[in-house]
Structure 1
Amino acid sequence: DNLSAGRQATNSLLDLGHRHIGSITGPIQLTTASGRLKGMLEAMAARGLAPKTGHVRSGEFREDTAYSVARDLLGQPDRPTALYVANGVMAIGVMRAVADLGLRCPEDVSIASTDTVAGAGGLKPRLTRTEHPVADMTNEALRMLVDRIEGKVAQPARNVVFQPALVVGESCSPLKAPAELT
C-alpha cells in the first residue's frame, strides 16, 4: 500500500514538528511513485499543510538522480527541514548529497524513506523508513502462481494489498527551535 507508506513516513516527520517537508520521488507516472507522493500530500493536508513550491521533485528511482536532485533542493536558502524519499536506493543518494553539502542528518535535515535496499543497512545514521512485508508478498505471489499453474485461478483476478510498517531509525529528529539552528 504505497499510499499508506507515504502517509506513515510523512506523519512520522510531522509528529517530530516538521512543517517544511519536501519530497524526492520516482517517475510520477508510475503508481509506486504517485501513490507514495499522494500519501505524503494527504498526511500534510490533514494537518492543514502543503509543501512549498519547488519542494516536491521527481526523477528516476536511482541513487545518482536522487543525489543531483537533493543537492539542488538542499542547496536552496529555503530548504525543507525534512525530506520524504520514495525508496531506499534514492535515500542513499540523498544521504550522500547531505554530507557533500556539509549538512548533517538528522541535525540539519531529517530523512524518512519507504523500503530499504542492500547497502542501506550500512547507512549512518540508520534510515527511518516504512517497509513492506516482502516475505509475505513473496509467499502470496508464489501461492497465486501455484494456483494458476494448477488451474485454480480466481475469477476475477485478486488484488492483494500489503500494509507497510514504520521502522524508526536515527535519520529523523525533532525540529529545532530557531535559536538552535546555527
Structure 2
Amino acid sequence: MSSVTIYDVAAKAGVSIKTVSRVMNNEPNVRPVMRERVLAAAGELGYSPNLSARSLAGSRSFVIAVFVDAALTIDHWQSERGADYLSRIQLGATLVCRDAGYHLLIELIDHEGPQVRQEVAALLAALKPDGVILTPPSSDNAVVLELLDRAGTPYVRVGPERAEGLGPRVHMDDVAAAREMTDHLIGLGHKRIGFIVGEPRYGASQARRDGYLEAMRAKGLSVPEFWVRQGDFTFQSGLEQAKALLALPERPTAIFASNDDMALGAIAAIADAGLMTPGDVSVAGFDDSPSSRFSRPQLTTVRQPVAEMSSVAAKLLIERSRGGASTERPVDELLPFTLIHRASTAPPPR
C-alpha cells in the first residue's frame, strides 16, 4: 500500500495543499474550523508530514543549518569542552525547531581548507536552508558571509568577534565576563594573577584576554608579559602553560584560564608541583562545562548562555522565514553571563 501524501489529506479535507501545509506547520491565520478539518483528515489517513511534501506547498525547506568548525573536530569537539559546547548549541536550537516543525542540521565547515568556498556553496545549493546559525569562526568568516549574502540565505551569528555591518548577531560580553572574574580574584586579595589565553583563531580568546588586562590595570596592577601565556583551549595546553607560570621566581597566586579545560589542566599542574588548589594557587575557568562541577575542587567559572544563544538564533531565523520579521531591522541580542563561585578560588596564602 502506498504511503499517504499531502495531496491525499488535502483531497479528503477538501482544501488546498497550501492549507494543509499551514496547519501542519502551526502557522497563524488558519480558521479553527479549517484546522480541525485538516487534522481530522490527517488523523484518519495516518498522515505524517515530511520535508519534501511540506516544501511542495511553498518555497521554504523547513531546514535550519548550523555551521560548526570542522578543523576542531578531532582536537576539540571530541574533548569534553567541545562536546559540551556542541551539545548545548544543538539543544537550544533543536527545541525551538521541533516546536516550529523545522529540522536542524549540523554541518562541519573546514575554514582552513582550500575548498571552503566550494564546500559552503555546495551545502547551500543542496540543503536550501531557510536560515543558518553561524558559530565561531564562521560568524566572522568573510567567505562564508559573502556566500550567504549572495545566496540570499538569512543567517544569525552566534558569538562573533566583529559587530558592525556583518548581519544579525546573538552574543554575550566576553570582555565584561573576564573583567568580572578578574575583579573577583583581585577582591579575594590576589595581585599576581596569571592568564592563559585560548585558541587565537577565536575572537572570544582575545576578548577574554582584554577583560583580564582591563581589570588588572584598573586596579593599578602591573601585568608582566610572562604572566600571559598562549594556550589553545585544550587540557594539555593548560597543563603546560600553568607549569611555566609556576616555574617563575615569583609565581602567581591565582591562574585564570579562558576556558574550563585549560583551568583543569592548571589544577593538574599545581598538584604535580606538590601544591594545593586553592590553598597555594587559586584557579578560575570559563564555560561552566560539566567537568567544572565534578572536578576536585569544583571550579570557579563563568557560565556562558550557549543554549540560550542558539535558541534565540533559531527563533529569529524561523520568524524571518515565516515573514514575521523585517529584513531591514538590525538584530543585536546581548544575553547575560553568570559568575559561578566554587571551591577553586580563595584568598592567597600569607
What TM-score does the superposition give when structure 1 sets the normalisation length? Answer: 0.89
Give CA deviations for 1:79-130 in whole Å, capped at 9, x if unaligned: 1111111011211211111111111100111111211223232111111111
For residue 97 of structure 1, the aligned residue among 238, 258, 269 is: 269
Instruction: Specify which structure has the higher proportion of helix.
Output: 2
- For 2:227 and 2:250, the matched residues in 1 are separated by 9
Amino acid across the alignment from 2:257: V
- For 2:312 and 2:184, the matched residues in 1 are separated by 29
- For 2:195 and 2:245, the matched residues in 1 are separated by 10
- For 1:153 and 1:168, the matched residues in 2 are separated by 41
Q: Which blocks of at least 5 consecutive residues in structure 2 are unaligned?
A: 1-172
> SS in structure 2 opposite 1:54?
helix
- For 2:316 and 2:222, the matched residues in 1 are separated by 40
Percent of aligned positions with the same letter in both sequences? 35
Amino acid across the alignment from 1:161: L
Deviation at 1:157, TM superposition (A): 4.7
| Pairing 1:109–2:316 present | no
Q: Is the 8 A contact 1:4 1:164 kept in 2?
A: no
Q: Is the 8 A contact 1:62 1:90 kept in 2?
A: yes
| Pairing 1:140–2:312 present | yes
Q: Is the 8 A contact 1:71 1:98 kept in 2?
A: yes
Question: Which structure ranks higher in relative contact order (CA pairs < 8 Å, sequence separation ≥ 6)?
Answer: 1
> Which segments of structure 1 move beyond 4 Å, counting only runs of 4 or more?
none
> Which residue does 2:240 correspond to in 1?
68
- For 1:155 and 1:62, the matched residues in 2 are separated by 40
Deviation at 1:28, TM superposition (A): 3.7
Higher alpha-carbon Rg: 2
Give CA deviations for 1:129-161 in whole Å, capped at 9, x if unaligned: 111223422321221221243243543552322
> Which residue does 1:168 correspond to in 2?
341
Which has the larger displacement, 145-154 or 68-77?
145-154
Deviation at 1:5, TM superposition (A): 1.2
1:45-84 equivalent positions in 2, closer than 5 A: 45-84=217-256
- For 1:78 and 1:156, the matched residues in 2 are separated by 53
The Cα RMSD (Å) is 1.7
Which has the larger displacement, 9-18 or 117-126?
117-126
- For 1:159 and 1:61, the matched residues in 2 are separated by 27
Give CA deviations for 1:64-87 in whole Å, capped at 9, x if unaligned: 111111112112221111111101
1:122-137 equivalent positions in 2, closer than 5 A: 122-137=294-309
